[in-house]
Structure 1
Amino acid sequence: MTIPSSSGQSSSTWAHACAACKHQRRKCKSDCPLARYFPADQPDRFVNAYRHFGVSNILRIIRGVRPEDRDAAMNSIMMESNIRARDPVGGCYGIICKLELQLRDLYDELYDVKRELALYHAQEQSMLNPNADDAALDKEGY
């Protein structure tokens, strides 16, 4: 972010330090790797990530991925740290377990609905073709 001077030209001075630099009480340089992901007006995003990962680990993760994958890596870091802040015990694993339980319940419900639908379909067929049962009995010799 640049501040326009009175002459209309912009200087390369940053108006606000990013949340990471502000938290660490250091000057935010124009090439700060965290400024893009932790704007000054959203300090909670940084605090959660800082508590869960630490600055050095966040920087190591960012440097360890390809430049085109850095946004996805940072989204993952922020999502995991925000979830951990909301649920310190279960975190992401707790959410995964809850979703698996919901999925199991939905599969059970789908099975019950399909079974009931098959029952209604069989009843409909017997009502449309009432002699089919008699013909089947005649074939078997009963």
Structure 2
Amino acid sequence: MGAGNSPCASCKLLRRRCAKDCIFSPYFPSDDPHKFAIVHKELPVHQRGDAVSSLVYEANARMRDPVYGCVGAISYLQNQVSQLQLQLALAQAEIFCIQKQSQDQPATEGAVLFLPLIM
């Protein structure tokens, strides 16, 4: 039950009896009905499973990394993407150089081209 024995905003909007131990009461107090109305409207039924999965993922990430949580995982992945983009750019530049060399030099029969590996 919300403050003063009035139903929480969730139970009130959904026209349900608000139990004393209602799980929504702490998050959707009766004096702020707009808060639940927004969540109810903007989080359709078909997305609620995804919302719960997101909460579980964030809780697990917080257990692994109490300071940064899932933000730490996101930062790590963004850094990894940046490194891979750099490696891709280097590989593309190397391919361009090889193609340029092969265009500038006539190919000799049976010749093998060895290039240094750039890391």
Q: TM-score band (shorter)?
A: 0.5 to 0.7
How far apart, CA to CA, are the structure 2 residues paired with 1:56 and 1:86? 27
**Corresponding residue of 1:82:** 60
Provide runs of 4+ in structure 1 moved above 3 Å. none
How far apart, CA to CA, are the structure 2 residues paired with 1:79 and 1:67? 19
CA apart distance, 1:70: 1.0
Q: Which runs of 5+ in 2 are unaligned?
A: 1-22, 29-35, 108-119
RMSD in angstroms over aligned alpha carbons?
2.6
Question: Which of 85, 101, 107 lines up with 2:79 in the alignment?
Answer: 101
5 Å-filtered alignment, 1:52-131, equals: 56=24, 64=40, 65-128=43-106
Of structures 1 and 2, the larger Rg is shown by 1
CA apart distance, 1:101: 0.7
Percent identity among equivalent residues? 29
Q: Which runs of 5+ in 1 are unaligned?
A: 1-54, 130-142
TM-score normalised to the size of structure 1? 0.46
CA apart distance, 1:90: 1.3
The one-character-per-residue Cα deviations of 1:20-57 (angstroms, maximum 9, x if unpaired) are: xxxxxxxxxxxxxxxxxxxxxxxxxxxxxxxxxxx649
RCO higher in 1 or 2 (8 Å CA, sep ≥ 6)? Answer: 2
TM-score normalised to the size of structure 2? 0.54
